[in-house]
Amino acid sequence: MNYHHRVTMKNASFFIAFLLFAASAVIQAQVYRTGSNTEQLRTLTVYKDGDWKSLPVLNMESGNQIEISFDELSHDYKRYAYRIIHCNADWKKSEMNELEYLDGFSENDIEQGEQSVSTLTLYTHYKFSIPNDNVKLKISGNYAVEIFDREATSEPLLTACFMITEDKVAIEGNVTATTDIDYKQIHQQLNFTIKTLGMRIQQPLTELKVIVQQNHRRDNEIKNLEPLQVNSESISYEHNKNLIFEAGNEYRRFEMTSYKYSTLGVNKTEYFKPFYNVELFPAEPRLKGYIYDQDQNGRFLIHSQDAMDDLTGSDYFLVHFSIPMELPIIDGGIYLNGDFIEDALNTETKMIYNFDRKAYEKSMLLKQGAYNFQYLYCPVKSRKSTPLRMEGSYWETENEYQVYVYYRSIGERYDRLIGIRQIQTSY
């Protein structure tokens, strides 16, 4: 072998090693979030003990379970299975190996699947709970559950995220419309204090990661917070401009619980093979002042008035959203937002302008039920959306704020979730 060949082989080996390292880095950098990777799997829900109003959070010492369910749009047999991944506070895979965070089998089959009954759209409803007889979880933190088809591919088709907390600290707080930038106008400000309850937190600035969400959304969550005051018994986060949120508006609502007649928010329901089509009333910007409405802060509930069992008897309808607008917006896009689309801002949720009808439109295949949604505007080349352009923002709006407190002391290899608190507006 001559010198030139030896150098070439060495360079090639280095290049291959670099590619493998880069691929590994990409995998490690993946941020997990609840959602489906295929149109064949729909209506993913992640609830504590099946309660649709609950946050997907378990207490370490409780006997509660996270219930995960979804529909596969056929009556064909599928051998679905799941694997559990432990994540850090940023929802990236932690350094912990499976033996350190779970007790039982690393992969398990989903054994419970029921076919739909008397529905035009055939589907099979699958559900399972964690922990169960096959697997139990040993440490706190964030968890992602990947669901895949054993007969076809090991690539994830669905991802369901939930959390386990140790409840080592207490969190006290309030929401006020008297903010550090305005008074009873368009913002709300969250103030809270972490009570350590005897837990020894030596360096709060480096050992704690505090994450705050509005209405359990991840698209506008706040992190990297610095406390205002620290002592041995409490850590205070007050008068922090990062904790000032646009108050937004109450979520819009619609219900499609029967094919026989139109219900809340529905203009008309008609059958065009192969689906019932639900046309919602055209949306108008809500910029003329606050009007109270009892919403569920983005949640949705599967329900059919015509079925014996909501989960296997509710049909799928094609829902048409529309926003009349004389001209399209050129400096950004309008997105649908709500739990039923996992609060994602992407091509699947972006409204499309129809020049013939002079309206933004979006059609989605959704399971019968009651839904909350809103329209958010996102400027070009920005990841931050705002309700101001379509929904308005009013200090009176009822919102929920979630505070998650993660802890990692020197030498630990993962982020423990040591406290969580949901704080509601109270005025």
- CATH code, domain with 110: 2.60.40
Q: Looking at the predicted structure, is the pLDDT value of residue 169 above 50?
A: yes
396: β partners:
none
Q: Looking at the predicted structure, is the pLDDT value of residue 48 above 60?
A: yes
For residue 314, the model assigns a pLDDT of 98
Q: β-strand 57-59 against 153-165: which pairing, if any?
A: parallel
378: β partners:
333
For residue 10, the model assigns a pLDDT of 46
For residue 26, the model assigns a pLDDT of 47
Q: Looking at the predicted structure, is the pLDDT value of residue 22 above 90?
A: no
385, part of any domain: no
The three-state (H, E, C) secondary structure of 299-330, written as one string: CEEECCCCCCCHHHHCCEEEEEEEEECCCCCC
Mean pLDDT of 401-410: 97
For residue 426, the model assigns a pLDDT of 86
Both 39 and 161 in one domain: the answer is yes
For residue 14, the model assigns a pLDDT of 47
Mean pLDDT of 37-58: 97
Which of 138, 165, 192 is the endpoint of a domain?
A: 165
Report how many domains make up the chain: 3
pLDDT tens-digit series, residues 199-251: 999 899 999 999 999 999 998 899 999 999 999 899 999 999 999 999 999 99
Q: How far is residue 181's CA from residue 240's CA, in Å, rounded to a whole number?
A: 11
Which of 165, 198, 233 is the endpoint of a domain?
A: 165
Both 261 and 364 in one domain: the answer is yes
Mean pLDDT of 266-278: 96
Mean pLDDT of 318-333: 97
Residue with tokens 């928010």: 265
Mean pLDDT of 27-45: 91
Q: Looking at the predicted structure, is the pLDDT value of residue 185 above 60?
A: yes
107, part of any domain: yes
Residue with tokens 């008609």: 270
Q: β-strand 275-280 against 416-424: which pairing, if any?
A: unpaired
140, part of any domain: yes
Q: How far is residue 231's CA from residue 36's CA, in Å, rounded to a whole number?
A: 44
Both 148 and 190 in one domain: the answer is no
For residue 9, the model assigns a pLDDT of 45
9, part of any domain: no
For residue 61, the model assigns a pLDDT of 87
14, part of any domain: no
Q: Looking at the predicted structure, is the pLDDT value of residue 105 above 80?
A: yes
For residue 11, the model assigns a pLDDT of 53
Q: How far is residue 185's CA from residue 181's CA, in Å, rounded to a whole number?
A: 10
286, part of any domain: yes
User: C-alpha distances in angstroms, 46 versus 254, 258, 262?
Assistant: 21, 25, 29
What confidence tier does 153 reach under pLDDT thresholds 50, 70, 90? confident
Both 274 and 175 in one domain: the answer is no
User: C-alpha distances in angstroms, 386 versus 319, 390, 403?
Assistant: 24, 9, 21
All residues at 6 or more sequence positions from 385 whose CB lies less than 8 Å from its CB, including other chains:
219, 220, 335, 337, 345, 376, 377, 378
The amino acid at 9: M
In 57-110, which ranges are E strands?
57-59, 66-72, 80-87, 102-104, 107-109
Mean pLDDT of 116-121: 97
Q: How far is residue 7's CA from residue 14's CA, in Å, rounded to a whole number?
A: 10
Both 69 and 121 in one domain: the answer is yes
Both 301 and 420 in one domain: the answer is no
Out of 27-31, 178-182, 350-354, 375-379, least confident range: 27-31
Both 265 and 357 in one domain: the answer is yes
Q: How far is residue 208's CA from residue 404's CA, in Å, rounded to a whole number?
A: 10
Q: Looking at the predicted structure, is the pLDDT value of residue 358 above 80?
A: yes
User: C-alpha distances in angstroms, 8 versus 5, 12, 20, 21, 274?
Assistant: 5, 6, 18, 20, 60
391, part of any domain: no
Mean pLDDT of 386-403: 97
pLDDT tens-digit series, residues 3-13: 444 445 445 44
413, part of any domain: yes
Both 200 and 259 in one domain: the answer is no
Residue 237: domain span: 170-247+399-424
In 135-284, which ranges are E strands?
135-137, 141-149, 153-165, 170-176, 187-195, 208-214, 229-230, 234-237, 244-246, 252-256, 266-272, 275-280
